[in-house]
Amino acid sequence: MRAVDISAVKIPSRRPASGRDDLSWWREARLGLFIHWGLYAIPAGVWHGKRVPYTGEWVMWREKIPFATYSRLARRFHPRHWDAAGIVRLAKEAGMGYLVITAKHHDGFAMYRSDASPYNVVDATPWHHDPLADLARECRRGGIRLCFYYSQDLDWQHPDGAWNDWDYPGKKDPDRYLREKVFPQLTELLTRYGPIGMIWFDTPLTLSRPRSAAIRRLVKRLQPRCLVSGRIGHGLGDYSLPRDNFLPPGRLEGDWETCATLNHTWGFKRHDHEWKSAANLITTLVDLTSKGCNYLLNIGPDADGRVPAPSVARLRAMGAWLRVNGIAIRGAAPSPFRNDFPWGRITTRGRTLYFHFFGQPPRWFRLHGLLSRVRRITALAGSRKAFPFRQMVEPATGTPILAINFTGARRTKPVTVIAVELAGLSRVETLALQQPDETITLIGPMARVGTTAKQPAMRMGGNGLSENWRNTADFLEWRFTVLHPGTYEVAVVTTHQHLEPWSGGHTLRVECAGSTLRGVTRRDALLPGLRSAYYPQIASRFGSLTFTRAGDFQLRLQADKLKLLKKNKTLFSDGGIQLSEIRLTRA
């Protein structure tokens, strides 16, 4: 008998000494509004008539614009259409619970009245107005948590801030920067605008651990209940963040938040018209919720303060879907299963599981691996008619199967939600299971890291990708259940951040069911799907495996020869294999 038990999924809590759970409002919200707004909205991605690549708020760095020139933009900042009440209304219409605005981005310009630096929106612009004060008032009225983005490390205005070496070459004194700018500005932000939900720190690239710890201490001293985002660095955040626009391969451990763009920029860019569809955004919200990840979605108002119309339309469409299905998202816990399903995702609320179908629920639907007894199954939208179902056990492997008859189920686009009420808390099989469509997917987060050396150097990153895979002694191992004997094609799926090079060309070995397959990670196929948009899911074919019986198996993936990228080739990754999953499909 294999191990089959798992306790119901609880959202992990990190309780401070007071006994109050600081993250509860944030977990309840699941969806937040990010606002990138600053002087960069004036060039809007164009400098001296040339379209500047990358995201709009990086224009100063990309073009190495001298501070004396860039700062003159402030004289033109007079946003006649700024409407804080309208933005808070939009966040509420979209079903969002919190809002994070750039109080200071990497360009160093404070978007509020700052005594610590005259380079701020009240003193340096003809507008002489503090938009953060407007937002604080409107958020209070609207019941939305107000949070501030603050770039604690990169600062291209202050001579000792990181990453402006065209104006300020030579050695920097980060302590002077912290003393003169970061500490006083954080103090202003945390003492002048009422209770702040979170300081959203970003891009921890140069600050040491003690310096980041000092920043955290200051925040908690001034507002003990204020959260600190994971990008304060050194693991000092109250929750974790993967890279921008990242969708994890499966359910993650702990509290996560993916921040994402609606087009491809954070700060307004007048030529970026590639908007994600509302269907994409709603599907992504479902996907992230099922994995224990909040979704922080960005708008970039233009230099006049207007929110681009396509952003407004998309956020309203999300709100419309949430008005019917919000119970399956807001305050919902992740799926009890670690893996995705080919048909959709699952979220949890107490004794109810919500099945989110990305297409029409099939007339006869099967779910493998649910141990709990089901009481009743209904759709969230439309009639409350209960769907007939049966629960049985597959004799060869003992796998529990739930079969539902969805005849007459109405499809709600883009995602149809079905409530599955259980007799108790959910209990599911812990091993990866063959799915009714015959596929078996072994995701990174379900792998065990092993080594033939003393200690593995590789680890399975919290975001579900392998990290620091830089030697041939380390390996990954999965256990899984095959329901139907037969021959299966094996594909190893690796990935990379789309702006960085892919680490491929490694010779790997798959050992399973008495066979050894050798192959090289090549670009044999690019898997379709939302995850590939920013992290191409590159499938490399490794041949086929034959299972002569149903039952549990073990698969090991190890490198024979690694072809590592030089560290300086990538900005954020370690140059090793970023494994996302292994896919077995019926040959």
By the criterion CB under 6 A, which residues form the site for ligand FHN?
A: 55, 57-58, 202-203, 244, 259, 266
Pick the closer one to ligand FHN by CB: 223 or 265. 265
Pick the closer one to ligand FHN by CB: 55 or 540. 55
What does the H/E/C string look like for 368-436?
ECECCCEEEEEECCCCCCCCCEEEEEECCCCEEEEEEECCCCCCCCCCEEEEEEECCCCCECCCEECCC
Q: How far is the CB of 105 from ligand FHN (least distance, A)?
A: 6
Residue 414, preceding peptide bond in cis (omega within 30° of 0): yes
DSSP 191: H
User: Tokens 């509020």 identify what position?
Assistant: 112
CA distance 207 to 374: 52
End-to-end CA distance of the chain: 28
Q: How far is the CB of 95 from ligand FHN (least distance, A)?
A: 21
Measure CA 188 to chain center. 30
Q: Which tokens in the block code for residue 506?
A: 């490694």
Q: How far is the CB of 151 from ligand FHN (least distance, A)?
A: 8
Q: Which tokens in the block code for residue 479?
A: 């256990």
Pick the closer one to ligand FHN by CB: 55 or 164. 55
Pick the closer one to ligand FHN by CB: 268 or 337. 268
CA nearest neighbour of 298 among 276, 275, 266: 266
Pick the closer one to ligand FHN by CB: 203 or 412. 203
The Cα diameter of the chain in Å comes to 76
CA nearest neighbour of 344 among 323, 328, 322: 328
Pick the closer one to ligand FHN by CB: 189 or 259. 259
How many other CB atoms are found less than 10 A from the CB of residue 395?
A: 8
Coil, strand or helix at 279: helix
Could you tell me if 45 and 271 are in contact, meaning their C-beta atoms sit under 8 angstroms apart? yes
Could you tell me if 61 and 163 are in contact, meaning their C-beta atoms sit under 8 angstroms apart? yes
Q: How far is the CB of 84 from ligand FHN (least distance, A)?
A: 20
DSSP 462: T
Task: Give me the helix-helix angle, 84-93 and 131-142, nearest 10°.
Answer: 40
Q: How far is the CB of 298 from ligand FHN (least distance, A)?
A: 7
User: Tokens 């029409």 identify what position?
Assistant: 360
Q: How far is the CB of 156 from ligand FHN (least distance, A)?
A: 11
Q: How far is the CB of 173 from ligand FHN (least distance, A)?
A: 23
Pick the closer one to ligand FHN by CB: 156 or 177. 156
Which residue type occupies 156?
Answer: W
Pick the closer one to ligand FHN by CB: 138 or 202. 202
Q: How far is the CB of 147 from ligand FHN (least distance, A)?
A: 13
Q: How far is the CB of 442 from ligand FHN (least distance, A)?
A: 29
Pick the closer one to ligand FHN by CB: 200 or 355. 200
